[in-house]
């Protein structure tokens, strides 16, 4: 398959985005931020992985090769992964054909195979093509990882989109709560308990820390709360998240957060309303739907 650079992929995503169903339009871009091409290139190009990990302060599961079938669990199109990858394994989707054409053709064929609207397949098809570029053909010849295709978003695409726009009801006396209004931060839409409460204008990490359920992390540390965090002051970069819904209900990105996001490599200058945030800097004024990446680091230093 013809390999494309990060800029070519960025332009391709801009062109593909209008054809992606709203349920996965932001989620697709978030996935590409979670597994950026430049990180894969850095890993492939190093002769000493331990030194690279120390230099970029990489923690957690940052290698896409270790989670080929599960990295995109938060896309609605995740349920079509087997159909998409089966086509990639049996069809030459590369050559000199532009990325946009490759993704659209793959999505069209997969949509016919599963009898679904093609807009639901475009995002996951883009993910599949990028995965193949980063990991190679061997990624699609391996058995599906245990449990990778089992847990899915249960509502319909339109129901999911609608639920991401609605705030929790405040009850009969909600009008008197003022700044004490309570909302929900959803971090796993597959689970009925995949959320924690947040008070109006509270930072996401502060609210997450009040969730006393245990959440194990592969980042050298563990603590209460769904969102990994160390410093809670914008310094460590460990609490970066993707925002699937409710980005407009979060406080604006201030100078410190913008600088840290750029240093970490999580944010591009051209991005308008960011869908990657530092949870310790973002305050909520309504329901928010997020997804937590499996790693963190400072790839902006590369």
Question: pLDDT tens digits, residue range 8-60?
Answer: 999 999 999 999 999 999 999 999 999 999 999 999 999 999 999 999 999 99
What pLDDT is recorded for position 214? 83
The CATH number assigned to the domain holding 168 equals 3.10.20.30
Identify whether residues 78 and 114 lie together within a single domain. Answer: yes
What is the mean predicted confidence (pLDDT) over 210-223?
75
DSSP 3-24: ---HHHHHHHHHHHGGGS-HHH
What is the mean predicted confidence (pLDDT) over 132-156?
70
Instruction: Give the dihedral of Cα atoms 286, 28, 232, 167; nearest 10 deg.
Output: 10
Identify whether residues 219 and 251 lie together within a single domain. Answer: yes
Q: Which domain holds residue 112?
A: 6-142
β-strand partners of 240: 278
Helix axis angle, 119-135 relative to 6-16, nearest 10°? Answer: 170
Identify whether residues 63 and 108 lie together within a single domain. Answer: yes
What is the mean predicted confidence (pLDDT) over 252-274?
80
Contact 26, 240 (CB under 8 A): no
Identify whether residues 99 and 14 lie together within a single domain. Answer: yes
* pLDDT at 147 exceeding the cut of 50: no
Contact 46, 52 (CB under 8 A): yes
Say how far apart CA 211 and CA 21 lie, in whole Å: 33
Identify whether residues 296 and 250 lie together within a single domain. Answer: yes
Identify whether residues 52 and 126 lie together within a single domain. Answer: yes
Whether residue 56 is contained in a domain is answered as yes
pLDDT digits (tens, 9 = 90+) for 49-96: 999 999 999 999 999 999 999 999 999 999 999 999 999 876 655 556
* pLDDT at 288 exceeding the cut of 90: yes
Instruction: Give the dihedral of Cα atoms 56, 62, 64, 67; nearest 10 deg.
Output: 170
Say how far apart CA 279 and CA 246 lie, in whole Å: 13
Identify whether residues 134 and 173 lie together within a single domain. Answer: no
Whether residue 152 is contained in a domain is answered as no
β-strand partners of 143: none
Give residue 171's pLDDT band: very low, low, confident or very high (50, 70, 90).
Answer: confident
Q: What is the mean pLDDT of the chain?
A: 87
Identify whether residues 171 and 137 lie together within a single domain. Answer: no
Identify whether residues 170 and 254 lie together within a single domain. Answer: yes
Identify whether residues 206 and 100 lie together within a single domain. Answer: no
What is the mean predicted confidence (pLDDT) over 109-129?
97
What pLDDT is recorded for position 160? 97
Identify whether residues 129 and 196 lie together within a single domain. Answer: no
Which has more confidence, 139 or 180? 180
The helix (run of H) or strand (run of E) holding residue 161 is helix 157-163
What is the mean predicted confidence (pLDDT) over 187-215?
93
Query: How many domains does the structure of the chain reveal?
Result: 2
* pLDDT at 266 exceeding the cut of 90: no
Identify whether residues 136 and 202 lie together within a single domain. Answer: no
Contact 222, 212 (CB under 8 A): no
Look at residue 126 and give its three-state secondary structure.
helix
């Amino acid at each position: 398959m013809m390999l494309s650079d990060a800029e070519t992929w960025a332009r391709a995503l801009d062109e593909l985005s209008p054809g992606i169903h709203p349920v996965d339009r932001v989620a697709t871009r978030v996935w590409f931020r979670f597994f950026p091409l430049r990180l894969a290139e850095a890993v492939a190009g190093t002769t000493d992985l331990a030194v690279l990990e120390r230099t970029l302060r990489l923690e957690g599961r940052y290698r896409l090769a270790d989670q080929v079938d599960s990295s995109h669990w938060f896309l609605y199109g995740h349920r079509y992964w087997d159909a998409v990858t089966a086509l990639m394994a049996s069809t030459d989707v590369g050559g000199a054909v532009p990325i946009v054409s490759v993704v659209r053709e793959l999505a069209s064929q997969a949509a016919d195979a599963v009898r679904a609207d093609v807009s639901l397949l475009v995002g996951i098809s883009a993910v599949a093509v990028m995965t193949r570029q980063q990991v190679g053909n061997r990624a699609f010849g391996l058995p599906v990882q245990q449990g990778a295709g089992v847990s899915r978003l249960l509502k319909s695409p339109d129901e999911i989109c609608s639920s991401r726009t609605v705030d929790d009801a405040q009850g009969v006396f909600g009008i008197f709560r003022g700044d004490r209004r309570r909302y929900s931060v959803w971090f796993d839409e597959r689970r009925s308990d995949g959320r924690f409460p947040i008070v109006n204008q509270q930072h996401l990490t502060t609210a997450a820390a009040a969730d006393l359920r245990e959440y194990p992390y592969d980042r050298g540390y563990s603590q209460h709360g769904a969102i990994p965090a160390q410093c809670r002051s914008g310094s460590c970069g460990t609490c970066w998240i993707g925002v699937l819904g409710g980005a407009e209900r979060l406080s604006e990105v201030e100078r410190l957060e913008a600088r840290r996001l750029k240093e970490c490599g999580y944010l591009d200058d051209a991005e308008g309303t960011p869908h990657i945030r530092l949870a310790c800097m973002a305050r909520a004024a309504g329901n928010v739907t997020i997804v937590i990446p499996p790693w963190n680091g400072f790839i902006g230093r590369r």
